[in-house]
Amino acid sequence: MLEFAPFRIPMDRRMQTFAVSHFVFCFLFLGPLSVIFFIYVMFFTSYWYLLIPYIIFYVLDWDTPEKGGRRSPWMRNWKFWKHMSNYFPTSLYKTVDLDPCKNYIFGIHPHGVLCMGSFTHFCTNGSEFESIFPGFNSHLTMLPFWFRLPFHRDYLMTGGLVPSTKRSILHILSRPDGGNICCIIPGGAPESLNARPGDCVIMLKNRFGFIKVALTEGVDLVPVFSFGDHELWEQEPNPPGSWLRKFQDFSQKWCTFALPMFHARGIFQYNYGLMPYRKPIHTVVGEPIEVEKNANPTKEEIQALHDKYVTKLQELYDKHKSKYVKGESKLVIE
Ligand SMILES: *[C@@H]1O[C@H](CO)[C@@H](O)[C@H](O)[C@H]1NC(C)=O
């Protein structure tokens, strides 16, 4: 039986649904639509000349994403994002105060299907990041490919998003005045293939890049765990070895995209659709792990910091799970 949403819904709930549907739509379709729009106007209409100023801007602006991007405090502070946060709702907690004279790397787990918590917390003021971490600018890193698409790139950059390249990350972490947080999701897109209600399976054992950057730059590492982020959608079963997983690994390898087959509810009914469930997301920012600068770390030194990071992350999870985890679900580190 289809279960429909009630006809009479308070206005603020409608706004929440609208804000989340905007996010899901943009995440999935804004990139391809920007390209289609660009090609259509360029080659199939007589208005192609209107794109020339944009093309000039695009070429001159080519390097901006890797040089810290172009955040818009005004857009990050839209009321709209607050509605998005209230849909679940999402909450952001800190365990200690951070020093605004320093830069930090946040390692965020898990990725979830669409990075819902990470985006709300670190690309908008929807869960009041600006009040919780006063004096800090947060930059979430994302696949570099998305910053090449016309128009789409400009929208991404307003939230403080930057490409997940070494050059871009170093640019943010080497700012001398401090107050910058580079938010990295070590599991990356492949981790989204594990996101479904139940155990939280994160990919960390073979992720050394962010550890190495922390060492070479001497930047403190902060483990961040987002309780509930992996439970917002159902996902078709894709155990290792299944044809679906093989196809997903193939597309991951050749196109860099993960293609999770996810679904939860719709806008007007609760049975099927791309809208996430209304389930709370609790994101806890742990204590920083102090890292001493080491320009040429050995393999053992990288491994030692990685081990320490995994221990601290597990401790953070264990300390807070009783408040935020319902039922039997466990943290599985792969
Ligand atoms: C972020 O949101 C909070 C709560 O609505 C508000 O008090 C604060 O001024 C906002 N921060 C910025 C920098 O706009």
State pLDDT tens for residues 289-313.
999 999 999 999 999 999 999 999 9
pLDDT digits over 52-87, tens only?
Answer: 999 999 999 999 999 999 999 999 999 999 999 999
CATH number of 11-333: 3.40.1130
- Residue located nearest, by CA, to atom 7 of ligand 1: 131
Contact between 160 and 71 under an 8 Å Cβ cutoff? The reply is yes
Amino acid identity for residue 208 in this structure: F
Structure tokens at 87: 């849909």
pLDDT at residue 116 tops 80: yes
Coil/strand/helix, residue 92 = strand
CB 168, CB 141: distance < 8 Å: yes
**Per residue in 234-249, pLDDT tens?**
898 999 889 999 999 8
Q: Which residues line ligand 1 (CB under 6 A)?
A: 77, 125, 128, 130-131
Tokens of residue 291, six digits: 């890292």
**The tokens 């999701």 sit on which residue?**
185
List the chain domain ranges. 11-333
Best residue among 120, 131, 132, 138 to mutate for probing ligand 1, ranked by most atoms within 8 Å of CB: 131
Determine the Cα–Cα distance for residues 187 and 278; give it in Å rounded to an integer: 24
Output the 3-class SS for 159-220: CCCEECCHHHHHHHHCCCCCCEEEEECCCHHHHHHHCCCCCEEECCCCCCHHHHHHHHHCCE
Rounded-to-integer distance, Cα 22 and Cα 119, Å:
13
Name the token pair of 96. 């200690």
- Write down the pLDDT at residue 18: 94
Residue 128 CA to ligand 1 center (angstroms) comes to 6
Length of the chain equals 334
Q: What percent of the chain has pLDDT over 70?
A: 100
